[in-house]
Amino acid sequence: MKEKFKTSLSGVKKAFLVTLVLLIICGLIYPLVMTGLSQLIFPHQANGSLVKVNGEAIGSELIGQDFTEDYFMKCRPSSVNYNTYTEEAKESGEYAGPASGSNNYAPSNKALVERVQADIDEFLKANPNIKKEDIPTDLLTASGSGLDPHISPKSAEVQLEKLEETTGLSMDTLQKIVDDNTEGKVLGIFGQDRVNVLGVNLQIAKEMGLID
């Protein structure tokens, strides 16, 4: 009996020690060493791929923004407004800190249809020359993360006519800006063609002389 108790006690001890050792290796040493290595080898990426203008970060290459000015290209709808907010919204508690996600509307949810309907109306009002059926699918559907930095090349194209008017830039310049910020498929096979909206708007702002 005593022997049995002793062996089971040593079993408990082993289980406890293994827990601690693995906690230290996998839960502390591993992530901290990886942080060090990443900071050393890929400092730009490891710190969020920030986009800087005159040394000040204005966003991240990876994340879209909620652009509202009419001389900027628009991103897709986002349930978290891309975590962009105003001072007032933060003070009033309307903005409660960074989040991500979508509204999770089922395809059969009426709220989804209502939102899309409202966005179509708004878009057609702002872009009177565009026909309803020419609006690309991605532009008026919300991304899963609420942070999608991209729109499809077609979604960029339908916005150009309006931008030509509001920015005062020529169609050629705008087209070139879009081309500069379009990424293709990897090896021509994997992924989708896409346009980085922040990149486009940054160049628009430069061309318009809003920033230097």
Partner 1 sequence: MFQILMTLLIFIIIVIPIGMYMYRIATYQKTFADPVLNRLDNGIFKVCGIDPQNGMGWKKYVLSLVLTNAFMVFVGYIILRIQFLPIFNPNGISGMEESLSFNTIISFMTNTNLQHYAGESGLSYLSQMSVITFMMFTSAASGYAACVAFVRGLAGKDKKNMGNFYVDLVRVTTRILLPLSIIVTLLLVWQGVPQNLSQNVTVKTLEGTMQDIAMGPIAALESIKHIGTNGGGFLGANSSTPLENPTIISNIIELLSMMILPGACVIMFGKMVRDRKSSNNVPNAIKARKSLFGREGRTVFVAMSIIFLIGLFVCYYAEMAGNPALVNAGLSQSMGNMEGKEVRFGVSQSALFTTVTTSFTTGTVNNMHDTLTPLGGMIPLLHMMLNLVFGGKGVGLMNMIMYVILTVFICGLMIGRTPEYLGKKIEGKEMKLTALCIIIHPLLILAFSAIAVATKSGLAGITNEGFHGLSQVLYEYSSSAANNGSGFEGLADNTLFWNITTGLAMFFGRYLSIVIQLAIAGSIMRKQFVNESAGTLRTDTTTFTIALVLIVYIFAGLTFFPVLSLGPVAEHLTLWG
Q: Which of residues 138-197 bind partner 1 (CB under 8 A)?
A: 138, 140-152, 185-186, 189-192, 194
- Which residues ranging from 84 to 113 are in contact with partner 1 (CB under 8 A)? 84-87, 90, 96-110, 112-113
Q: Which residues touch 63 (CB under 8 Å, ≥6 apart)?
A: 82, 83, 147, 149, 198
**Min separation Cβ 212 and partner 1, Å:** 13
Cβ proximity to partner 1, 48 vs 168, nearer residue? 48
**Min separation Cβ 69 and partner 1, Å:** 6
Selected from 6, 9, 69, 165, the binder of partner 1 by CB under 8 A is: 69
- Nearest residue to 82 (alpha-carbon basis) of 68, 98, 106, 103: 98
Selected from 9, 70, 117, 170, the binder of partner 1 by CB under 8 A is: 117
Residue 88 to residue 175: CA distance in whole angstroms = 36
Work out the number of other CB atoms within 10 angstroms of the CB of residue 166.
14
Angle at 124 between CA 130 and CA 195, to 5 degrees: 65
**Min separation Cβ 175 and partner 1, Å:** 19
**Min separation Cβ 163 and partner 1, Å:** 14
- Which residues ranging from 35 to 64 are in contact with partner 1 (CB under 8 A)? 35, 37-39, 41-42, 45-50, 56-63
Cβ-contact 102, 166 below 8 angstroms:
no
**Min separation Cβ 2 and partner 1, Å:** 19
Cβ-contact 85, 78 below 8 angstroms:
no
